[in-house]
Amino acid sequence: MQVVKYVFQPHGDERGQLIALEEYKDIPFEIKRVYYMYDTLEGVRRGFHAHKSLKQILVCIHGTCKVLLDNGKEKKIVPLEKPYEGLYIANNIWREMYDFSSDAVLMVFASDYYREEDYIRDYQEFLDMVNKEGKDL
């Protein structure tokens, strides 16, 4: 599985850093929704789902966390430790986020509005879906 990490270009000067993200330029889709997680308690693991069609970019804009990506065949652990790095997560990828530092702010850019119908929250259902899609090809 290929891990796609974007490195955003900061506009740094003597005052500090600024990062601007524009849809179809820095973010490879129309941004329909932005949400963020903060005050995540120690030891918490969240996510535990895949999306049927939603695409996302995750940016840990403060602090650090880890993301487990799973395509049904292979798993990868991706640390997010820099505010200028964005992790692209395509549809049909199971994800879990964990090891949040107490100051972590994890911001997510999403290609669609929140729709519960797009979620696959059952791991076995996820495996069945990706295995079936593989056979259809």
**List 11, 49, 51, 62, catalytic entry:** 49
Q: According to the binding rule CB under 6 A, does residue 35 interact with ligand TYD?
A: yes
Residue in the shown chain whose Cβ atom is closest to ligand TYD: 46
What is the spatial distance between Cα 46 and Cα 44, in angstroms, rounded to a whole number? 6
Task: Find, among 36, 12, 33, 9, the residue nearest to 23 by Cα.
Answer: 33
**Cβ atoms 84, 19 nearer than 8 A:** yes
Q: According to the binding rule CB under 6 A, does residue 66 interact with ligand TYD?
A: no
Catalytic residue flag (residue 51): no
CA atoms within 13 A on the CB side of 6: 20
Residue closer to ligand TYD, measured from CB, 72 or 107: 107
Active site residues: 49
Which residues are at the interface with ligand TYD (CB under 6 A)? 33, 35, 46-47, 49, 114
